[in-house]
Amino acid sequence: MYKDFIEALNKKYNCSGENDLSGMDLQHYKFASTTRQRALNAIETLETCGFMLDGGGIRILDIGCAYGGFSIETAKRGAVSYGIEINQKLYDYANLNNKDEVYENGNCIFILADATSPKFLEKLPHNYFDLIIVNDVFEHVYDTVQLLKNISKVASDKCVIYYQIPNGNCLRFVAKEGHTGLCGLSIIPPLFWCALTKDKYSSIYYRQYEYYLALFSYFGFDNVAPFNFSDWSNYISKDKVIERISHEYEVVKQTISDNKSSFSNAYSSKLNKELFLFESQLNYDFNELTPLDLTWKYLTTFWTGLAMKKDFKFNFMKSTSKRSFRSDDIEGIEFLLKCDDNKMLIDIICDSKYENCKFDIYLKSMIESISCYSHVNYSEQMHCEWNLTYSGIYFVLIRVIENEEKKNNIFTYPLYYCKENSF
Ligand SMILES: C[S@@+](CC[C@H](N)C(=O)[O-])C[C@H]1O[C@@H](n2cnc3c(N)ncnc32)[C@H](O)[C@@H]1O
């Protein structure tokens, strides 16, 4: 049960909830406690793209399942879900999270195994899975070729891989590496991590996007569709992208300078060398790359999308949807997001417990963030609308600001907008 899982998590972090935590502990706790919520968001994105789980019977493999949210939530929707985890402690958390869950049609099974090993192939049915989820896992795996070899054995002919992979070149992660919080670490080759951080951090293998394209393609998943497929490349100017990257790069340099005193000499010296290489590549790319490729390489935090074996026709399903946010911490905020003609509209209803908060509301796409309200005072009902100019996937960010230190971000499910005649 989720409740027991959260209790065990609180015990591990010696807290009674995220309010007692800060820094990287808070980040890791949040990653664990939102395991189910993140799965629901991914399911909604998949459904926006026409990959429907309802109807049941879909066979799903969740590789590197950790706390189990993806396997549990897909099983609740009628899927037969297997979660594979290499780490015994995380495997135990997943089972605790799943304990006493009752599934009407689906089923959820966790297996302790290394997904790059022959054991994985012994424990799982072959030519079987319709959807394989690899969410924030590739960067932890050294032998990605063996992983894909194993995946291709257990995948059915019409299998789709759902991937999310953090991008180490993204300037936000250069300023603060996602797993460790360390400045500059994401551009230092993995070989040096243990030595430079005195064995504190094991390696994360950041790779370029093209590496994954080649890998998927070699194993027959050659139809790769990132979730930013749209006509927006016509709407961004190269000058604007370069201006934004240059600004973020200045932030990186400032952050490095601010943190200098905490670096060892070896770390400083290696980081300076890597930063020099990074900057020359950046200047080269400013001339060579398209605005879209620059955005993908330096501004995109996570590459998310589908890799497919055979042609999978996108059939965008959703133009309207409704839900209440399910997180315990921000319950009491409900919204209805709609896409109507060439407008995106959201109606938000807030509980009075937020009356001392302020709100930011943004429409987000892959390329921009358009504010509707910035630091507005609480109101029981709020309405926003935006005119849409290009096709693509959009979602809304509602930021609830209690004070400068305490901000909660609520991301709505994504909606797809298709401009007439754009395809
Ligand atoms: C960052 S976590 C992502 C967890 C989960 N997919 C999610 O998004 O919540 C990466 C997970 O992959 C697991 N992992 C790493 N290498 C693995 C392997 N070779 N086989 C199975 N699991 C692995 C780790 O133990 C860890 O739980």
CATH assignment at residue 347: 2.60.40.10
Question: In one letter, which amino acid is 319?
Answer: S
Would residue 143 count as lying in a domain?
yes
For residue 384, give its domain range: 320-417
pTM value? 0.85
Residue 256 in this model has a pLDDT that exceeds 50? yes
CATH assignment at residue 223: 3.40.50.150
Instruction: Write the DSSP string, 56-125.
Output: S--EEEEET-TT-HHHHHHHHTT-EEEEEES-HHHHHHHHHHHTT---SS-EEEEEE--TTSHHHHHHS-
- Choose one of 308, 333, 355: the last residue of a domain: 308
Q: Whose CA is nearest to atom 24 of ligand 1?
A: 64
Mutate to test the pocket of ligand 1, among 140, 143, 151, 201 (most ligand atoms within 8 A of CB): 140
Q: Whose CA is nearest to atom 3 of ligand 1?
A: 136
Statement to judge: residues 96 and 226 lie in one domain: yes
**Could you identify the atom of ligand 1 that is nearest to the CA of residue 66?**
27
State how far the Cα of 232 lies from the Cα of 227, in Å rounded to an integer. Answer: 12
CA of 32 to the centre of ligand 1 (A): 12
**Could you identify the atom of ligand 1 that is nearest to the CA of residue 32?**
9
Q: Whose CA is nearest to atom 14 of ligand 1?
A: 64
Instruction: Give the tokens for residue 407.
Output: 């901000």
pLDDT at 322: 44
Instruction: Write the DSSP string, 244-308.
Output: HHHHHHHHHHHHHHHHGGGS-HHHHHHHHHHHHHHHHHHHHHHHHS-HHHHIIIII-SEEEEEEE
pLDDT tens across 83-106, in order?
A: 999 999 999 999 999 998 889 889
Average pLDDT value for residue range 57-75: 96
Mutate to test the pocket of ligand 1, among 137, 142, 179, 180 (most ligand atoms within 8 A of CB): 137
CA of 119 to the centre of ligand 1 (A): 16
CA of 137 to the centre of ligand 1 (A): 5
Instruction: Give the tokens for residue 146.
Output: 């063996």
CA of 135 to the centre of ligand 1 (A): 8
CA of 39 to the centre of ligand 1 (A): 14
Q: Whose CA is nearest to atom 5 of ligand 1?
A: 65
Sheet (strand 343-350) strand order = 320-324, 333-340, 343-350, 381-387
Contact 10, 21 (CB under 8 A): no
pLDDT tens across 3-42, in order?
A: 888 988 888 888 988 888 888 888 889 889 989 988 988 8
CA of 67 to the centre of ligand 1 (A): 9
**Could you identify the atom of ligand 1 that is nearest to the CA of residue 117?**
19
% of the chain beyond a pLDDT of 70: 91
Contact 136, 34 (CB under 8 A): no
CA of 153 to the centre of ligand 1 (A): 19
Contact 372, 386 (CB under 8 A): yes
Beta strands in 341-411 (DSSP E): 343-350, 358-364, 369-377, 381-387, 392-401, 407-411
State how far the Cα of 333 lies from the Cα of 268, in Å rounded to an integer. Answer: 45
Statement to judge: residues 227 and 353 lie in one domain: no
Would residue 181 count as lying in a domain?
yes
Statement to judge: residues 329 and 203 lie in one domain: no
Would residue 422 count as lying in a domain?
no
Statement to judge: residues 210 and 333 lie in one domain: no
Would residue 96 count as lying in a domain?
yes
Would residue 291 count as lying in a domain?
no
Mutate to test the pocket of ligand 1, among 37, 62, 82, 86 (most ligand atoms within 8 A of CB): 86
pLDDT at 176: 94
Instruction: Give the tokens for residue 240.
Output: 């604007």
Name the region of 3 (left: φ>0; alpha: ψ -120 to 50; beta: rest).
Answer: alpha
- For residue 153, give the H/E element and its range: helix 144-154
Burial of 397 (0-12, 13-18, 19+ CB in 10 A): middle
Average pLDDT value for residue range 181-206: 90
- Choose one of 308, 328, 361: the last residue of a domain: 308
CA of 139 to the centre of ligand 1 (A): 9
**Could you identify the atom of ligand 1 that is nearest to the CA of residue 84?**
21
% of the chain beyond a pLDDT of 90: 55
Average pLDDT value for residue range 144-171: 96
Instruction: Give the tokens for residue 249.
Output: 């790069």
pLDDT at 422: 43
CA of 229 to the centre of ligand 1 (A): 27
pLDDT at 314: 59
CA of 82 to the centre of ligand 1 (A): 14
Contact 15, 22 (CB under 8 A): no
Would residue 257 count as lying in a domain?
no
- For residue 32, give the H/E element and its range: helix 23-33
CA of 390 to the centre of ligand 1 (A): 36
Classify 41 as helix, strand or coil.
helix
Statement to judge: residues 83 and 226 lie in one domain: yes
Instruction: Give the tokens for residue 100.
Output: 């006493």
Q: State the total domains in the chain.
A: 2
Statement to judge: residues 22 and 152 lie in one domain: yes
Provide the b/e sequence for 368-388 (b: ≥16 CB within 10 Å): eebebbeeeebeeebebebeb
Would residue 37 count as lying in a domain?
yes
Statement to judge: residues 202 and 333 lie in one domain: no
- Choose one of 253, 278, 308: the last residue of a domain: 308
47 or 386, which is more confident:
386
388 or 366, which is more confident:
388
Contact 397, 380 (CB under 8 A): no
What are the pocket residues of ligand 1 if the criterion is a CB atom closer than 6 Å to any ligand atom?
Answer: 35, 64-66, 84-87, 90, 114-116, 135-137, 140-141
Statement to judge: residues 227 and 345 lie in one domain: no
**Could you identify the atom of ligand 1 that is nearest to the CA of residue 120?**
20
Measured distance between the N- and C-terminal CA atoms of the chain, rounded to whole angstroms: 45
Would residue 384 count as lying in a domain?
yes
Q: Whose CA is nearest to atom 23 of ligand 1?
A: 64
| Residue 62: closest CA among 117, 111, 122, 10 | 111
pLDDT at 47: 79
